[in-house]
Amino acid sequence: MRQASNSAPLRILHLEDSTPDHELVKRALSKAEVFAVLTQVDTLEGFSNLLSTAEFDVILADYRLPGFTALDAWQVLQKLKLRTPFVLLSGAIGETAAVAAIQLGMSDYLPKADLSKLGRVVNRALEVHHMQLEKEAAHLELAASEKRLASFAEHLQSAIEQERAAIAREIHDDIGGSLAAIRFDLAWAMRHTHDESSLSHLSSANEMLSHALQASQRIMMNLRPAVLDQGLVAALHWLTTDFSKRTSLPVNLRAPQKIESLSKAVQLTAYRTAQEALTNISKYACCSAVRVELSDSGGLLTLEVSDDGIGVTEQDMAKASSFGIRGLKERARTVGGWVDVSSTESHGTSITLSIPLDSESTEFLGEANT
């Protein structure tokens, strides 16, 4: 605020048709040591012209003037899209009308009989105005920061998927090729060896090689689910079947036979959500059954993965190390969707992904991510 002697004076526009009242206001501000330059105006046209050509820090307005009221002046301020603090200073208005004026957005109301309080009222109006501006600036900065974070998360997800695809190709081309060549050599050696001890070792090596090949194929599928080329439903069938084989947990999958017109970004998001949910279940749920439901009704793709395990508490999900659920939420956001988690202790957990099925929310990650 500019009240100190070494500060520029406040620029106050005084909407008042009484010169004696204008002088009283000047005297009250001076007595309160509010250093100000007052500009008096008594017509609506003059009020509008001054606001259009000059800047003011505060507006003090009488309520009733010849041919118009302070409400008309307030409307002018709104049309000009100015947010100058507006203090109603009048003796011709009741308390009900004053409250209504404040509800419209005016800063304050002071009866002319209480001019001794004018300095405090002006200071308070300025303080509130500055606080509002600072709050809005903080909100804008927060929104910009969240937008930058979302953009970074989207870029990070894209980079992760591209790196996964590159690693999967290397496993397929290098490790997979080498293991296949070893299998041929072992088969040749087994055909040309008649020593029982050697055959036993070769058979064990062949068995371990089969496990290695299966492991490499599983890792490749986890890194880059090529099965998604056959559609999301087929990919979920493979994922749940593989999960059930590895964990011995029964999985009930309910899904349409096929869902058309899903972008690769949406399919990958749904697949990764199911994959992460099933991974969490195998690690923490201590459950006896798992249910996966997929639907595309009502213009919304919905994937729900639930279990009947021990559940998860709010404190668990709020832990600094709980990146899994946060990662799912960020991934869903990149395609315009969201993730809800519901859990009851000893009654299981349900993770639900929802994605609107419209063109604007299905191409965020791009085609290259898979």
The CATH number covering residue 128 comes to: 3.40.50.2300
Domain closes at, from 80, 108, 137: 137
Query: Which H/E stretch holds residue 42?
Result: none
Give the per-residue pLDDT at 170: 82
Within this chain, do residues 229 and 370 fall inside the same structural domain, yes or no?
A: yes
Domain count, the chain: 2
Tell me the pLDDT of the chain (370 aa) as tens digits: 444 344 789 999 999 999 999 999 999 999 999 999 999 999 999 999 999 999 999 999 998 899 999 999 999 999 999 999 999 988 767 777 778 888 888 999 888 888 999 999 999 999 999 999 999 999 999 988 887 887 777 777 778 777 877 887 788 778 888 888 898 999 999 999 888 889 899 999 989 998 888 888 778 777 777 778 889 999 999 999 999 999 999 999 999 988 888 998 899 899 999 999 999 999 988 999 999 999 998 889 999 999 999 988 777 666 655 667 888 888 898 889 999 999 887 789 999 999 998 744 434 333 333 3
Asked if 61 and 25 touch (Cβ cutoff 8 Å), the reply is no
CA–CA separation, 153 and 333 (whole Å): 9
Q: Kindly state the tokens that stand for 113.
A: 């009989």
Position 187 in a domain: no
Domain closes at, from 137, 172, 189: 137
CA–CA separation, 157 and 136 (whole Å): 31
Asked if 357 and 299 touch (Cβ cutoff 8 Å), the reply is yes
Q: What is the pLDDT of residues 237-280, one digit of tens each?
A: 999 999 999 999 999 999 998 888 899 889 989 999 999 999 99
Q: Which domain holds residue 68?
A: 10-137
Predicted TM-score (pTM) of the model is 0.55
Domain closes at, from 114, 137, 160: 137
The sign of the torsion formed by the CA atoms of 20, 21, 26, 32 equals positive
Position 323 in a domain: yes
Position 175 in a domain: no
Position 282 in a domain: yes
CA–CA separation, 155 and 161 (whole Å): 10
Position 199 in a domain: no
Give the per-residue pLDDT at 363: 42
CA–CA separation, 90 and 17 (whole Å): 11
Position 331 in a domain: yes
Q: Kindly state the tokens that stand for 270.
A: 């749904």
Asked if 276 and 328 touch (Cβ cutoff 8 Å), the reply is yes
Give the per-residue pLDDT at 145: 87
CATH of the domain at 368: 3.30.565.10
- Antiparallel, parallel or unpaired: β 338-343 and 300-307: unpaired
Position 369 in a domain: yes
Position 70 in a domain: yes
3-class state of residue 259 by DSSP: coil
Within this chain, do residues 363 and 249 fall inside the same structural domain, yes or no?
A: yes
Within this chain, do residues 233 and 358 fall inside the same structural domain, yes or no?
A: yes
